[in-house]
Amino acid sequence: MQVVLDVSEQVNPDPRGRSLPTVVQVIQLKDSAKLERAGFRDLWGRPKEFLGEDLLQVAEFTVAPGQKLQRWIQRDPKARFILTMGHFRQPLGYSWRTVSALDPVLPPFCVERAAGDQGEPRPGDVQLRYRLQGYQIDMLRTQFSLTQPAPAVPSETEVPDHPKGSA
């Protein structure tokens, strides 16, 4: 999956209004039910304790004001949801996080890219684009999957011949 973080010049301000670097976590989940009752303090610094077996993988990035970051993370084939959260000084309501559903994907498409590979998405890749501003994170565009090649369907010559009455 490709994660793109577009960070405003005005992000996570301190009491004097100066923007600060911000930690962003991208968390792959099997299920999102526990998120319905999760507050910022439940997840900050201890997502595994709160989410338990639903948590599959965590990627963490530190972004600076005005930065645009593009990174590839390996998708877990069991992931059905992505929680993306900013570790803001003053988290308000639920604006510190976004939750997105993921389409099922075949394990062959869950491959790791080489470090530093920031190329364009390929068939089967998912792209997640976010904007950080003030004390909030917003999804700019819902994630999308580029067309995945169709699974191979055996031709008639490859289908085993079963005599009547057997299968």
Each residue's pLDDT, cut to its tens digit, for the chain (167 residues) gives 889 999 999 999 999 999 999 999 999 999 999 988 899 999 988 899 999 999 999 999 999 999 999 998 988 999 999 999 999 999 999 999 999 999 887 666 676 665 555 667 666 678 899 999 999 999 986 555 544 443 444 444 444 444 444 44
- Overall size of the chain counted in residues: 167
CA angle 9, 11, 19 (to 5 degrees): 75
Give the start-to-end residue ranges of the domains of the chain: 2-145
Q: What is the predicted pLDDT for the residue at 108? A: 62
pTM (2 decimals)?
0.78
CATH-assigned architecture of domain 2-145: Sandwich (2.60)
